[in-house]
Structure 1
Amino acid sequence: MKASPEELDTVAVANFRQYLRIPSVHPNIDYEPCVVFLEKQAKDIGLEFSVFRDVPKNPMVVLTWSGKEKSLPSIMLNSHMDVVPVFEDKWTHKPFDADIDENGNIYARGSQDTKCTGIQYLEAIRRLKLKGVEPRRTVHVTFLPDEELGGINGAKQYVETENFKKLNIGFALDEGFGGRGDTLIVFNGEKRRWIFRIHCPGQSGHGSLLLENTAGEKVRHILDKVYDFRAEQKIKEDKDKKTDHVTTINLTMIEGGLQNNVIPDKFTLVFDARVPIENFEKFEQTVNQWCKDTGEGIWTEDLQKDDDLPITAADDSNIFWVAFKHAVQLMDFKVDPLIFPANTDGRYFRKALIPTFGFSPNQDTPTKLHDHDEFLNIDVFLKGIKLYTHIIPALSNA
């Protein structure tokens, strides 16, 4: 089939909007409409199609572009099908209509995180195939479930399955953030996530009394320490203009109390911390010292503590870094490797010893991930496809 660039752009935007209209939103997602949509894309483009159902109700979809040298480790281009919930009354456009405004912005949940990425991969491959390009390494375009809930019932389990291991993946691209101007951002590692609860027991009694050693006083002491620490980290972030060596911590839940005239015998505080790998041990010691200084009976409970995961090399020792960097330099881009400030499925690939970069080609775009009125501009979306038409062959021929 021959198609003009304008016709290919029209097809790409139409497919993107169709995918965005599938409400694969938490909670209680039905992934089957995504599976049906992606199977149609595979047939249209001429890719092999597989669905792995190792995790009940959470399928992993794989579209495969076979390489000339099938014995070589393959390339994985990953995104996720699920999206976070919406508060529809806060949106100026319906979040699953994929409306386009007068500036060419497509509004929809998932337009940045990360349904754009999956379609950009596929539309780049469509263009490459029409030009007769044949990859050296096999390329798998993967669509995973459950990333927005931490990947516990998605990537974390799938990397352990035989179906995944048979893909023989030697390198993966996963999601990231777009850069600015002529600088692309590549994330070659992630901060360690630590979700923990601090238990603050204290003297209980009538609400009219000024008792000593109350749970509330201990909460105040802990929060003073936390927010003083946050202020220090904010100063560091503002000074360095980067987040990869900054520890973030946020209070996300307070639990306790029985009724409004009883001083409770305990409050618990839940915190979400994202810690640079090299700072994790020191930060953990700091939290323990906060608890010790607060008084007797204070203790922490780990709710989620990520492993110490490897960093993917971003230097000449990594052939995929060399290939990626060379490809984007030919398009007059520079590339800046950073540590991802949050968490993605990429951490499970790195744990499985698969070199992984997080990347988004959507340059100069306001970050609206998980926000109201999430959008992506059509021109930015199409430029991202063009970038991938250079990056994918470079990686597959490395």
Structure 2
Amino acid sequence: MASQKQLDTIAVENFRQYLRIPSVHPDINYEPCVEFLEKQAKDIGLEFSVFRDVPKNPMLVLTWTGREKSLPSIMLSSHMDVVPVYEKMWTHKPFDADIDEKGNIYARGAQDMKCIGIQYLEAIRRLKLGGVQPRRTIHVTFLPDEENGGLRGAKQYINTENFKKLNIGFALDEGKHGEGNTLILVYGEKRRWSFRIHCTGGTGHGSLLLENTAGEKMRYILDKFYDFRAEQLVKKIEGNSTDHIISINLTILHGGVQNNVIPDEFTLVFDTRVPDEDFEKFEDNVAQWCKDAGKNVWVEDLRRDDKYPNTAADDSNIFWVAFKEAVQLEGYKVDLEILSANSNARLYRGALIPTLGFSPNQDTPVKMHDHDEFLNVNVFLKGVKLYTHIIPALSNA
């Protein structure tokens, strides 16, 4: 049997190999991921399946068969795709997986979320070598297109016969880093609403002081949105949780054709994340602000998430209980949160699969989607160890 040092070396090298596959938007070739993960399945001793229900966007499933095959299975979910990079802003090549003197591995996907996919597999490798056999079947899944909202990934796969045959009773997906001995477990997500506000008005020569201009209406809208945003920041500073805070950001502004022509339209794109219980009220506020800004100010939806149920995080959920008890034995406590960003977890919950979001990578600066994304080797390996306790607990629930 391999020594602990050898297992650690294997885990880190597999992580770095996976990071070196540039599965980056917009035009991803997932086949190198398929080849790499099929090799991992054979090496660990897992069944390997590739579902190709969505052309060019395969879903990979590595299966560890349980003792009681009839029981609903456990899905350990991750995604293969990563967001684009601005390479000139990186101090290390974003797909070289360099390690610095502190043991930090730099690469796109180091935190979001190629780390977790490999941590699942390396934990299972250790469990199998230790003679563990799960009660419930474990499916380790690697999905495409999560960074685009899962529209050509999980959103389509959950409705396929291939997915339904997995008989999933509970899913674990990505979440947030905690600090110290406090782990963060995500039981729901805010609804994303991205929209474009059109502010239209009179046009003419830049020397004129026209009334009813697009610029005046735009100013009114910006004042309303940024006043509201300031209120949310105060709530964030005063409180200990962001569960009931609406995040709102201006992301795109368009308008104008020439510097001496008054534009007939400005458009503003906002990206917001709204707690479900506040969604209708916020929607009404936006509609009222547009009305008050003047005539011909209107909202164009770009993305409006459906309402998805939260996952129970109490004694009624045997998987929550199993997770909590497993990590408590390792000296951790658990804080529950609603996730501000979106993940595939919301789609699983929408399919009535209880799903919790979790990251084992404690005390790590959040660099998801940022330049110089990295994960420390020791943090990565501690995460592997933590999964060796969590995975059997979930399977035996």
Specify the alignment match of 1:157 in structure 2.
156
| 1:44-87 Cα shifts (integer Å, max 9, x gaps) | 00000000011111010000000111111110001110111111
297-306 or 381-390, larger mean C-alpha shift: 297-306
1:100 Cα offset (Å): 0.5
The equivalent of 2:16 in structure 1 is 17
Q: Does 1:368 align with 2:370?
A: no
Alignment of 1:106-145 (within 5 A): 106-145=105-144
| Structure 1 counterpart SS, 2:131 | coil
Q: How does the TM-score come out when normalised to structure 1?
A: 0.99
* Alignment map for 1:153-192 (pairs within 5 Å): 153-192=152-191
What is residue 240 of structure 1 aligned with on the other side?
Answer: 239
1:70 and 1:217 mapped to 2: Cα distance? Answer: 65
Paired residue for 1:82?
81
Residue 302 of structure 1, CA deviation: 1.1
- How far is 1:293 from its partner? 1.0
Displacement of 1:199 after TM fit? 1.2
Q: Could you give the per-residue CA deviations for residues 94-138 of structure 1, whole angstroms, max 9, x where no partner exists?
A: 111111111111111100000000000000000000011111110
Instruction: Please give the secondary structure, in 1, of the residue aligned with 2:36.
Output: helix
Matched residue, 2:351 = 352
Distance 1:72 1:207 in 2: 72
Q: Deviations over 1:261-282 (max 9, x none)?
A: 2111111111100001111111
Post-superposition Cα deviations, 1:373-397, rounded to whole Å, max 9, x if no partner, equal 1000000000000000000000011
Q: Write out aligned runs for 1:44-123 (5 A).
A: 44-123=43-122
Displacement, 1:256? 2.3
How far is the alpha carbon of 1:259 from its aligned partner?
2.2
Deviation per residue, 1:268-317 (Å, 9 max, x gap): 11110000111111111111111111111111111111111100000001
Distance in 2 (CA, whole Å) between partners of 1:292 and 1:228 is: 17
Paired letter, 2:334? V
Q: What is the deviation of 1:37?
A: 0.1
Whole-angstrom CA distance in 1 between matches of 2:94 and 2:148: 20
Aligned twin of 1:291:
290
Give the CA deviation at 1:27: 1.4
User: Equivalent residue for 1:322?
Assistant: 321
> Which whole-Å CA distance do the structure 1 matches of 2:291 and 2:240 have between them?
33
Q: 1:359, CA displacement in angstroms?
A: 0.3
Percent of pairs with identical residues: 76
Task: Indicate the SS of the match to 1:396.
Answer: helix
For structure 2, the residue ranges without an aligned partner over 5 or more in a row are none
Rounded to whole Å, the distance in 1 between the matches of 2:143 and 2:27 is 16
Q: CA deviation at 1:178?
A: 1.1
Secondary structure, aligned partner of 2:244: coil
CA distance, structure 2, for counterparts of residue 337 and residue 68 of structure 1:
31
Corresponding position of 1:331: 330
TM-fit CA distance, 1:257: 2.1
DSSP 3-state at the match of 2:268: strand
User: CA separation in 2, counterparts of 1:335 and 1:50?
Assistant: 34
Number of aligned residue pairs: give it: 397
Give the distance between the partners of 2:31 and 2:230, measured in 1 at CA: 45
Deviations 1:131-151 (A, max 9, x none): 111111100000001111111
Matched position secondary structure for 1:299: strand
| Equivalent in the alignment of 2:192 | 193
Q: Distance in 1 between matches of 2:242 and 2:149?
A: 21
Letter in 2 for 1:306: D
C-alpha offsets along residues 155-210 of structure 1, whole Å, 9 cap, x if unaligned? 11111111111111110011111100111000000000001111111111111111
Q: Deviations over 1:196-244 (max 9, x none)?
A: 1111111111111110010000000000000001100001001113222
Name 2:214's counterpart in structure 1: 215
Letter in 1 for 2:391: I
Counterpart-to-counterpart distance in 1, 2:164 and 2:132: 26
Q: TM-score, normalised by structure 2?
A: 0.99
Please list every run of at least 4 consecutive aligned residues from structure 1 whose deviation after the TM superposition is greater than 3 angstroms: none
| Structure 2 CA distance for aligned equivalents of residues 290 and 241 of structure 1 | 30
